[in-house]
Amino acid sequence: MNGSTGPSPLQRAVRTYLDHLVVERGLADNTLKSYRRDLRRYVGFLAGAGVESVDAITEASVGGFLMALREGDADHPPLSAGSAARTVVAVRGFHKFAVREGLAVNDPAAAVRPPAPAKRLPKALPLSDIERILDAAGAPGTTLALRDRALLEVLYGTGARISEAVGLDLDDLDPEQGTVLLRGKGSKERMVPVGSYAREAVDAYLVRGRPELAATGSGLPALFLNARGGRLSRQSAWTVLAKAAERAGVTAEVSPHTLRHSFATHLLDGGADVRVVQELLGHASVTTTQVYTLVTVDSLREVYATAHPRALA
């Protein structure tokens, strides 16, 4: 690993750690190869800085290595946050071992945190899948089908969080204005328009479904009731969506947040301003909403690539 006649103290310590991983922990071959590769790069980086013993490594040394991973060099491409984090895990494991086995006095990697992985983009369903799920809400011909359709229409039609939807009371609806009052995080309230499909589904539920459910309860003002007349729980609402997706044959991962993501993405695809979507979602910062614009940029790229005569030139 270096130009001297024998291994440096740092190299010997790393070899001892790798032996420990084989003998004591029995790591799989592929995992061991990853550790060996990561630590070889670590030792090479430190040697380039003139560091050849474990006790000479500082927190700044480990931080510098992490930065080098992210930036890359002539021999290595820049690593993603996830790959760099995996390498840092190997380094942190080595230093913990070195202290535990008396090969070093201090752990310079203890305070160095792996980089956070890139924020996963929300998954939005195509409108055709949304419509199939809405059409499949509830067992056909039942009272609960009216409730389930109304619930899912409200979730997709307003972008409400699941907790906001099941927390709705009858007085939160304003039929004349065509709006609903949602109570979000930190008890923040926002007024959101309700589209015609959601209004029709809620009206049908209020006329033909909710009275039957309310008859078994104690007069709760909750909009969405369970079969015993109590307020519908978040878990039950989640189950309503899962069953509808299963009936519709939608195999993609579906959750109440999927409907919220789809609401935002479809609005932006339709030309809505990101600040308007921010207000509708109840986000405190527009930067939280802007993650959805990354989704729509992907769809724009696809359209551009297939439609522009010189897109692929």
Catalytic residue among 257, 275, 301, 308: 257
Catalytic residue among 41, 95, 161, 199: 161
Catalytic residue among 95, 260, 261, 266: 260
For the four alpha carbons of 212, 216, 220 and 223, in that order, the dihedral sign comes to: negative
Q: Any idea what DSSP says for residue 91? A: H
The answer to whether 147 and 209 have CB atoms below 8 angstroms apart is: yes
Interatomic CA distance for residues 203 and 210, integer angstroms: 10
For the four alpha carbons of 153, 154, 156 and 161, in that order, the dihedral sign comes to: negative
Does 35 qualify as catalytic in the annotation?
no
Does 161 qualify as catalytic in the annotation?
yes
Count H helices, E strands: the chain?
14, 3
Interatomic CA distance for residues 87 and 64, integer angstroms: 13
Q: Structure tokens of 88? A: 């840092």
Does 283 qualify as catalytic in the annotation?
yes
DSSP 191-224: EEE--HHHHHHHHHHHHHTHHHHHTTSS---BSS
Does 95 qualify as catalytic in the annotation?
no
State how beta strands 189-193 and 179-183 pair.
antiparallel
Interatomic CA distance for residues 270 and 76, integer angstroms: 42
Interatomic CA distance for residues 123 and 6, integer angstroms: 54
Does 156 qualify as catalytic in the annotation?
no
Provide CB contacts within 8 A for 222, sequence distance 6+. 166, 168, 169, 170, 230, 231, 232
Q: Structure tokens of 77? A: 């491409």
Does 260 qualify as catalytic in the annotation?
yes
Q: First and final CA of the chain: distance in angstroms?
A: 46
Catalytic residue among 149, 199, 261, 283: 283
Catalytic residue among 25, 33, 185, 275: 185
The residues assigned a catalytic role are 161, 185, 257, 260, 283, 292
